[in-house]
Amino acid sequence: MEPEKLNIALIGFGEAAGAFVTGWKSIPKLSVSAFDIKTDSPETCEADEKWSAYDRANVSGSSTMAEAVQNADVVFSLVTADRAFFAAEQAAQFLRRKTFFLDCNSCAPGTKKRSSKVITDAGGRYVDVAVMAPVYPKLHKTSLLISGEFTSEATTIFECLQMDVTTMEGDVGTSSAVKMIRSIMIKGLEALFSECVLAGRRAGVDEKVIASLDLTYPGFEFADKSAYMFERMMQHGERRAAEMNEVALTVAELGLPPDMAVATAKWQQRIGELGVPIGEDEYGDRADILLAALGKIERSE
């Protein structure tokens, strides 16, 4: 299949979708449509911003799911983890037979398998896709893992779109298991940094704590890592919390206690929902912003 013959639909138009579209600009004559639930938001400014984002990306915005996917050869699902199954369930009603449904959401293997069933029952071709790194700066060339029955056919699509894909042996859920279990460490580190550094800052000993950690783990650069971890949680904490709830489900499905995943989800949600600016690129500044916001919540309770 030649790239110029591809009709692509994006469900969800956040950071990942925007990054992919930006990368695809080098590929001529792609037809890209998008639907995002935020266009139905009662907050007019939120809906308007989404329509503006479509225009800036030169994407054809759709008012409904049906409008976005009904003529698509390929559908990328790029929503929050808690909306992933719902998005698959809704899209399945409007897909043409043999349409590829590329589920790029950060979900538990069990959730992916449920989504796969509704898509394949509707005649679509479902692929479990795990996005293995932040989408910036690599955009559409961000590393992906794929698994499931239709990976061989889907590889041609990814090649046309110049995307970096590694196929894993196994059923739907295999690539997502890698992503979910990896997130225990990646998102868990962010939560650990937050609790450690914020407690140190409030106690007035953060510099000594960080210096001590640097002695124990030379070269890790805890101050710089702290600033980065705060930034990720401040910008994406709520989305990461939804992912970590799926991680907790993954661990529970494996018969293990998901204590770390649950605690991480709480910290990600707590930081993300503050909605505060990220401040300067320095951990102390961001820690002070977060402590001030958390202090307001504590005083109001």
Q: What is the pLDDT of residues 272-290, one digit of tens each?
A: 999 999 999 999 999 999 9
Minimal CA–CA distance to 84: which of 181, 12, 9?
12
The values of phi and psi at residue 234, to 5°, are -65, -35
Q: What is the pTM of this model?
A: 0.91
301 Cβ partners below 8 Å, 6+ apart?
A: none
**Looking at the structure, do residues 223 and 152 belong to the same domain, yes or no?**
no
Residue ending a domain, choose from 172, 200, 217:
172
Domain harbouring 264, CATH code: 1.10.1040.10
Residue ending a domain, choose from 114, 139, 172:
172
**Looking at the structure, do residues 37 and 56 belong to the same domain, yes or no?**
yes
CB-based burial label for 211 (10 Å; 0-12, 13-18, 19+): exposed
**Looking at the structure, do residues 205 and 248 belong to the same domain, yes or no?**
yes
Per cent of the chain over pLDDT 90 is 92
- Residue 138, domain extent: 3-172
Q: What is the pLDDT of residues 72-114, one digit of tens each?
A: 999 999 999 999 999 999 999 999 999 999 999 999 999 999 9
Query: CA dist 75 to 45, 87, 95, 210, Å?
Result: 27, 11, 9, 45
Domain harbouring 84, CATH code: 3.40.50.720
**Looking at the structure, do residues 143 and 204 belong to the same domain, yes or no?**
no
16 Cβ partners below 8 Å, 6+ apart?
A: 78, 104, 131, 135
Distance in angstroms (rounded) separating the CA atoms of residues 183 and 174: 15
Inter-residue contact 141 to 24 (CB < 8 Å): no
**Looking at the structure, do residues 140 and 233 belong to the same domain, yes or no?**
no
**Looking at the structure, do residues 36 and 155 belong to the same domain, yes or no?**
yes
**Looking at the structure, do residues 138 and 205 belong to the same domain, yes or no?**
no
Residue ending a domain, choose from 172, 192, 223:
172
Residue type for position 98: K
**Looking at the structure, do residues 130 and 217 belong to the same domain, yes or no?**
no
Q: What is the pLDDT of residues 64-83, one digit of tens each?
A: 999 999 999 999 999 999 99
Q: What is the pLDDT of residues 192-245, one digit of tens each?
A: 999 999 999 999 999 999 999 999 999 999 999 999 999 999 999 999 999 999
Inter-residue contact 133 to 144 (CB < 8 Å): no
Distance in angstroms (rounded) separating the CA atoms of residues 102 and 226: 34
**Looking at the structure, do residues 198 and 145 belong to the same domain, yes or no?**
no
pLDDT (mean) for 152-178: 96
**Looking at the structure, do residues 102 and 196 belong to the same domain, yes or no?**
no
Q: What is the pLDDT of residues 248-258, one digit of tens each?
A: 999 999 999 99
State the total domains in the chain: 2
**Looking at the structure, do residues 131 and 240 belong to the same domain, yes or no?**
no
**Looking at the structure, do residues 189 and 271 belong to the same domain, yes or no?**
yes
Q: What is the pLDDT of residues 3-58, one digit of tens each?
A: 457 999 999 999 999 999 999 998 988 999 999 999 887 777 888 999 999 999 99
Mean pLDDT estimate for the chain? 95
